[in-house]
Structure 1
Amino acid sequence: MQAAVTEHRAEVAVLHLRGELDADTAGQLHATLAGLLERPVPRIVVDLTGLKFCDSVGLSAFITSKEVISARGGWLSFAGANPFLSQLLETVGLGRYFAIFPEVEDAIAAAQM
């Protein structure tokens, strides 16, 4: 898995993920998220456009991070999930726990409201 962060208006960080997120690559995700969680009020959009696969270890990293983010008054949302990831997020019930947007721009625009 590859991870890159870009900054956008309203102090929103976009975490772009590519490849496969699984037990072998979850440590990299944890390290990247840890840096973003240092912000006073973390606002993170996870761009799933380039992510081809995610297992339960990857999902648990997002859930753990969301707890920290929520405690600080921030938020974490997803954008650009392919059909496999969209179905996975809904099947495990994360569609009720995270905001999911079709495009990164939609998630950033929602931050402005």
Structure 2
Amino acid sequence: MELNVSTASQGGHAVVTATGELDLYTAPRLQAALAGLLRDQADRITVDMSGVEFCDSTGMNVLLSAMKRLKEQGGSLELAAPRPAVKRILQVTGLDTVFTVVDAVPAFDSL
């Protein structure tokens, strides 16, 4: 399965939308998108997980690494609308207490 990644930005906030499976083979796509936003000095990144059907440890490591780098720059990263399978992975690994997880992707006009 493929992973499609798109980004949208307004001000210092960026939304990264991922759809498909996030695993060893597809994680570099998400990593590249997040790295680009970090280089552009985004101060808040929301990763829309509503279209992610599967996420393995490689995908989680990409997200953790981006969150760590963003925090070092004084920013924040949140995961939005993870599907039940991904939410379960977050809970089992304890990462639901590490990441900020929100139920919906915030609209740009409500920021």
Structure 2 Cα separation of the partners of residues 47 and 37 of structure 1: 17
The two structures, once aligned, show a CA RMSD in angstroms of 1.9
**What is the deviation of 1:55?**
0.3
**Corresponding position of 2:86:** 85
Runs of 4+ in 1 over 3 A off after TM superposition: none
**What is the deviation of 1:41?**
4.7
* Number of equivalent positions: 109
Please give the residue correspondences for 1:1-113 in structure 2 after superposition, counting only pairs within 5 Å. 1-8=3-10, 10-105=11-106, 112=111
TM-score using structure 2 length: 0.89
**What is the deviation of 1:11?**
2.0
Structure 2 Cα separation of the partners of residues 71 and 41 of structure 1: 12
Runs of at least 5 residues in structure 2 that lack an aligned partner in the other structure? none
Question: What is the identity percentage for the equivalent residue pairs of Structure 1 and Structure 2?
Answer: 32
Runs of at least 5 residues in structure 1 that lack an aligned partner in the other structure? none
CA contact (8 A) 1:41 1:72 kept: no
CA contact (8 A) 2:49 2:82 kept: yes
Structure 1 Cα separation of the partners of residues 15 and 50 of structure 2: 12
Structure 2 Cα separation of the partners of residues 41 and 15 of structure 1: 12
The amino acid across from 1:60 in the alignment is: N
Secondary structure of 1:37's partner?
Answer: helix
The amino acid across from 2:94 in the alignment is: G
